[in-house]
Structure 1
């Protein structure tokens, strides 16, 4: 059983957020951060059997900024 699962979270180009689990086939989209958190919890619950479900879900927010020189 893994104790933690890590998701990378990015702002979607069309608005909202997308989250992808590293090392797992889990992908979710939502319009707001509270919705995203709920979607991630639900996806993890559906993806794992109850005994194999990670105890911690970590969200790593990734944001690119482009600066003009």
Structure 2
């Protein structure tokens, strides 16, 4: 069975995204969601460069939002 790694993703105030793997020392960022996915792909390939296969990757977007109840 193939390993699955999870990236916790948060959106910065400027609109960009930051991704941190919860089980490995892999971090990356991107200005857009598509750029972030490409950067995660490259970061995972770089981290696992010496292995015969790459793990599955799950993206978990964490969104902090203030809701004012009136």
Give the TM-score normalised by the residue count of structure 1. Answer: 0.85
1:33 equivalenced with 2:44 (yes/no): no
Deviation at residue 15 of structure 1 after TM alignment: 2.6
Q: Deviations over 1:28-49 (max 9, x none)?
A: 1110011000000100000012
Q: Give me the whole-angstrom Cα distance separating, in 2, the residues matched to 1:37 and 1:67.
A: 29
Larger radius of gyration: 2
Unaligned runs of at least 5 residues, structure 1 = none
Aligned length: 68
TM-score (norm 2): 0.84
Other-structure match for 1:67: 67
Following TM superposition, where does structure 1 have runs of at least 4 consecutive aligned residues deviating by more than 3 angstroms?
none
Instruction: For residue 34 of structure 1, give the secondary structure of its aligned residue in structure 2.
Output: helix
C-alpha RMSD of matched pairs (Å): 1.7
Q: Distance in 2 between matches of 1:53 and 1:25?
A: 15
